[in-house]
Amino acid sequence: MIRLRSFAAQTAALAGAGLLTRLIGFLYRLPLTDMIGNVGNGIYGASYNLYMFFLIMSSAGLPVAVAKMTSHRLALGKNADARAVFRTSLAVTAVLGLLSSMALWFGARAMADAVESPRSFYAIRTLSPTVFIVSVMAVFRGYFQGMGSASPTALSQIVEQVFNAVFSVFLCYALMKGDGDATLGAAGGTAGTGVGALAGLFTVFIIYIKAAPKKRPTEPATERQLSVILELVRTAGPIIIGAAIFSVANLIDMVMVNGLLLKAGYGRSDTDAMYGLLTGKYVTLTTLPVSISSAVATAAVPNIARFAALGDKVKLTERINVALRLSMTLSIPAAAGIGVLGQPILRLLFPSYPDGGYLLQLGAISVVFLALSQIAAGILQGAGYAYIPAIAAFFGAAMKIPLNYWLIPKKTVTVFGLVFPMNVAGAVISSIACYAVAAVVDMVVLKKVMGKDQRIDARRSFFLPVASSAVMALICHFTYRALFNISDNNTASCLIAIFFGVASYFACLYLIGGLEKEDLVPFVKKRAR
């Protein structure tokens, strides 16, 4: 068995891999957007949302469920049962992934028409095999994380994204070389996702083969296969439901955005372009810092499950507070930076298609709510309250639909005499409300789960990061304005403003007591005083 490692090591590995893969993702989206434009991004986003729904139905929650089940058995010394969890989960997931891939392939035309994006047909089909590949890979990753080793997941994520980046750009270029059709270009970009997933699966499988002991222990598993399947369903089911609710909300969002914009008099190309702004720029940029919360949440589940199984409330509370603090310390300043430098960042990243900055400025706060809902959901899942995030997601999605219906058809909205552009921005506002409601529900329940004797460290998790982020936002704004007025160079002004903003944030956080030396190496034993 692989030696159990600390929560800090897992978090560092997953967070580092998450950031690197997101950065690689940014790099390849730059030439991709330059080739397919906002219209192609809209087609790409429509197919990707459908793909994500089927991926969620086949494998969402599996890494968390397998990690939790494996970690729980290892904590009790049931090594053979932990291996049985892996084998059974792999068989179940392979079947579900194959069925989902077939449904996506054969139903591509009907689905493209149903979501008001008929040009996404080819992109949907090129994504369909990826569902099966990623589903199988999810079980391997969950098994390794349950044993306390995040390195296989981190390495496979990096390999997956590198291959994804290279082949997405190459296939997009190859398919657009003839007539420059954004429809085929988007299909080439989505095909690269499948190539990357296959490379990631191959990587994690090789690691599994090499890490397997030469002589396996001979003790038999004490649990029947059916009992493992039932526990897998009980553990992953609420996670799947919660993720599916958000995914369905995104699908509804897509149908409503496209349908309402067309009904409001916009043409098909304009509608695809506006949806491309939403998915290709706003969603892509705001989910970059959220990848840190995803990594922290993934690493938190097996550790929290372990201390919950052992009944150690002190250690459990410590892990909860560190997970929240790590997530918010990075998410809150990211939201502030995106809000202040939204338009300059788009000019920097997408010089050929720089529009859409107002969406980032308007929706930057969604970074905090989405990150908070994800980390709270991971903690609740690890503590055995996996159904709560599903309920929270339902209430969040319930807020999204009426707001979409009210806001998207409007071209402008006047507030206190100020006129704001609306249409696709209405979907951004509804997303903020959706994530905010989900985060509040999760946090209220989390506080009750912790009990009266244990408390959330709100000062270090929320108040101090907010104060430091306010200082950072002011420095970013005035630094950028001053440099741009002098040089008229957006790239240099933006990069320098980001550098000074990040430096000022961490300096301020350290000075007011929000960042201490032990935070740099969490859970390292302190010297005796």
pLDDT-derived band at 7 (thresholds 50, 70, 90) equals: low
Q: In this predicted structure, what is the pLDDT of residue 415?
A: 67
Tokens representing 300 are 């938190």
169 vs 80, higher pLDDT: 169
Range of lowest pLDDT (50-54, 66-70, 168-172, 240-244): 240-244
Rounded Cα distance, 70 and 36, in Å? 44
Q: In this predicted structure, what is the pLDDT of residue 334?
A: 92
Q: Return the domain boundaries, the chain.
A: 7-456, 457-521
Alpha helices in 177-312 (DSSP H): 182-211, 225-263, 268-276, 284-310
Average pLDDT over residues 89-114: 91
Indicate the pTM of the whole model.
Answer: 0.74
- pLDDT per residue over 195-234, tens digit each? 999 999 999 999 988 876 555 555 656 667 777 788 888 8
Average pLDDT over residues 497-515: 91
Residue 418 confidence (pLDDT) above 80: no
Average pLDDT over residues 294-320: 70
Q: In this predicted structure, what is the pLDDT of residue 285?
A: 84
- pLDDT per residue over 18-48, tens digit each? 667 777 877 787 788 888 888 888 888 889 8
- For 443, the 3-state DSSP assignment is helix
Rounded Cα distance, 104 and 100, in Å? 6
DSSP class per residue in 294-343: HHHHHHHHHHHHHHHHHT-HHHHHHHHHHHHHHHHHHHHHHHHHHHHHHH
pLDDT-derived band at 515 (thresholds 50, 70, 90) equals: confident
Tokens representing 201 are 């699966």
Range of lowest pLDDT (120-124, 202-206, 281-285, 474-478): 281-285
Strands 412-415 and 418-421: antiparallel
Q: Which of 74, 52, 64 is nearest to 4 (CA)?
A: 74
Rounded Cα distance, 507 and 498, in Å? 14
Q: Which of 88, 392, 394, 58 is nearest to 223 (CA)?
A: 88
Neighbours of 450 (CB within 10 A): 18
Asked if residue 104 lies in contact with residue 124, where contact means CB atoms within 8 angstroms, the answer is yes
- pLDDT per residue over 419-430, tens digit each? 777 888 888 999
DSSP class per residue in 105-163: HHTHHHHHHHTT-GGGHHHHHHHHHHHHHHHHHHHHHHHHHHTT--HHHHHHHHHHHHH
Q: In this predicted structure, what is the pLDDT of residue 107?
A: 94
Asked if residue 122 lies in contact with residue 187, where contact means CB atoms within 8 angstroms, the answer is yes
* Helices and strands of the chain, counted as H and E runs: 19, 2
